[in-house]
Amino acid sequence: MDLLTPDLGLLFWQVVVFLGLFLILRAFAWKPITESLNERENNIQSALDLAEKTRLEMTALKADNEKLLAQARSEREAILRGAKETADKMMADTREKAESEGKRILEQARESMQNERQALVMQMKKEVVTLSLDIAEKVLRKELSDKSAQEKLVTDLVSNSRLN
Amino acid sequence: MMRLSINKFLLATALILSSLVGARAQEHNQEGEAHAQHEGEAAAPKGKFNVGEMIMHHIKDDHGWEFAHGLTLPLPVILYSKDRGLEVFSSSQLAHGHEYNGYKNEHGKIHRVDAAGKVDHEAKFYNFSITKNVASLLLSAVIMILVFSAVSSGYAKNKGKAPKGIQSFLEPIILFVRDEIAKPSIGPKYTKFLPYLLTLFFFILINNLLGLLPGAANLTGNIAVTLVLSVITFLIVTFSGNKHYWLHILKPTGVPVALLPIMIPVEIVGVFMKPLSLMIRLFANITAGHIIILSLLGLIFMANHMGGMGTSIAISPVVLFFTLFLNLIELLVAFLQAFIFTLLTAMYIGSAVEEHHEADHGIGYEGVEAH
């Protein structure tokens, strides 16, 4: 068996064994292995794609959320502003009303006081008249108890009242 | 771009290494043979240690598997001749130069002998024996089937899960063959050729590694084995070649008409040269590695002969250091040669099935023309 001349027997066995090995491995090893590898790679790729898609969706969702939030915020502000305006207006209205009511009540009080005073003055006047008449009557009665005095008075009165 | 440059670098390294080792192998080979002849002529006395013979004995095929001196596993001898039909017997019948059934084993080669005990060179018979190499071949086939059916069942068991055990050990190598060898060299049609490339790669790798074991056969360093592998590659390339491939051979683009009479024969020779170079590269690299390691170990026995026991013990550590170093290099070479053989096969297939592109013609398959 020389080094450089191929041996017939070994050639034969090498062809048979190598081809047999190739066919067996192709059917039972390489096919399932490469298929599984491809399948796994596809799975990984699709998972990555899905993650990317989800990420994009999340970004879109976030943008939507932010928009909604901004909208809600502006709405809230509008509502708050409106409420404040209403409250201010109500307060102003109430103050105005209260002021006018107070004024009206004061006026009324002043009027009734006036009336009372007038009535009081009238009453007093009446009382004063009666009292002075009583006094006058009493004085007169006393003054005119004697005859001379009566005559003197009449004389005085006549002298004072100049008949012109 | 990165991957391409890495591939180029690997390829260049591989070629440099392989040519270096190859050249050294030839030297050793010639030395060994010269040595053997010289010893033979001088009628070396029995018992004298002959390094050349020892090395040749180890790297060549044999009937019977000798693990150590005196420990030989007999293997079946299968002979076929027109006159005697099929004959099967154990190789132990022919051990130590015994004659059996009119056959005699001389230096590992079976001859027919006549009644007088003379070797009959005229007798025609075919030797299909399970030799040491065939036994090693069958062993490697069994190992590969067991290993890869385990890997394959791993994929069925761990479907959709992370790889485990031997499956995760071999998966990167399978992916390497697919993604670094088949895909870039062949292109989109790689799936059809992937089973062959994977079988080729692992066959060469496993047999290279098996060959490094002590007492193992030198299978991938046998020219019959590399011949079969390269012929299969040649057939695949030839039968899958498209019209651009053949047109390129008959009418290389960019070549002046005046040069065609030179270029066409060159191209045709190239078609056969490519598989031939594959055959010789693998054979020479593996055989060379074995020869170097055996030569180094032989030094110890030579020293014993020339300077006695003391000398041999004195040089043993040095020799062992170098042997260890070379064994490590051989481990690298085992991977490298499997890679180169597969890569070049893929490139040849790639050049045969490549769709024609005017623009990158001649630069699409980097390095192919360099071999």
- The 10s digit of each residue's pLDDT in A43-94 is 999 999 999 999 999 999 999 999 999 999 999 999 999 999 999 999 999 9
pLDDT score, position B9? 56
Please give the residue range of the domain that contains residue B140.
2-33+132-370
Is position B301 within any domain? yes
B112/B152 same-domain check:
no
Is position B103 within any domain? yes
Is position B344 within any domain? yes
Q: Among B96, B114, B130, which residue terminates a domain? A: B130
Is position B165 within any domain? yes
pLDDT score, position B70? 78
Do A9 and B149 make contact, defined as CB atoms within 8 angstroms? Answer: no
Q: Among B130, B154, B169, which residue terminates a domain? A: B130
Q: State how beta strands B126-127 and B71-73 pair.
A: unpaired
User: Cβ(B113)–Cβ(B106) under 8 Å?
Assistant: no
* Residue among B59, B125, B127 nearest A10 (CA): B127
For chain A, the structural domain boundaries read 23-156
B12/B25 same-domain check:
yes
Whole-model pTM: value is 0.72
Is position B56 within any domain? no
* Residue among B129, B182, B118, B174 nearest B147 (CA): B174
Tokens 């085992």 belong to which residue? B334
B127: tokens are: 């030797």
User: Cβ(B212)–Cβ(B334) under 8 Å?
Assistant: yes
Please state the domain count of chain B: 2
ipTM strictly over 0.90?
A: no
Task: Find the residue in A nearest to B157 (Cα).
Answer: A36
Do A17 and B199 make contact, defined as CB atoms within 8 angstroms? Answer: no
User: pLDDT by residue (tens digit) across B221-237?
Assistant: 999 999 999 999 999 99
Counting as low any pLDDT under 50, the low residues of chain B are: 1, 17-46, 358-371
Is position B254 within any domain? yes
B204/B89 same-domain check:
no
Task: Find the residue in B nearest to A6 (Cα).
Answer: B224
pLDDT score, position B143? 95
CA torsion through residues B47, B50, B51, B53, sign: negative
User: pLDDT by residue (tens digit) across A97-147?
Assistant: 999 999 999 999 999 999 999 999 999 999 989 988 888 888 877 777 778
User: pLDDT by residue (tens digit) across B272-327?
Assistant: 999 999 999 999 999 999 999 999 999 888 888 888 888 888 889 999 999 999 99
Between the alpha carbon of residue B128 and those of residues B98, B107, B162, B246, the distances in Å are: 20, 17, 45, 38
Q: Among B90, B106, B130, which residue terminates a domain? A: B130
pLDDT score, position B55? 87
B236/B334 same-domain check:
yes
Q: How far apart are CA B333 and CA B337, in angstroms?
A: 6
B20/B111 same-domain check:
no
Do A1 and B60 make contact, defined as CB atoms within 8 angstroms? Answer: yes
B143/B80 same-domain check:
no
pLDDT score, position B210? 94
- The residues in B 352-371 lying below 8 A from A, measured between CB atoms, are none
B193/B78 same-domain check:
no
Alpha helices, DSSP H only, in chain B?
A: 2-41, 51-59, 132-157, 165-176, 183-186, 190-212, 223-240, 243-250, 260-353
- The residues in B 269-328 lying below 8 A from A, measured between CB atoms, are 287
B92/B186 same-domain check:
no
Do B155 and A15 make contact, defined as CB atoms within 8 angstroms? Answer: no
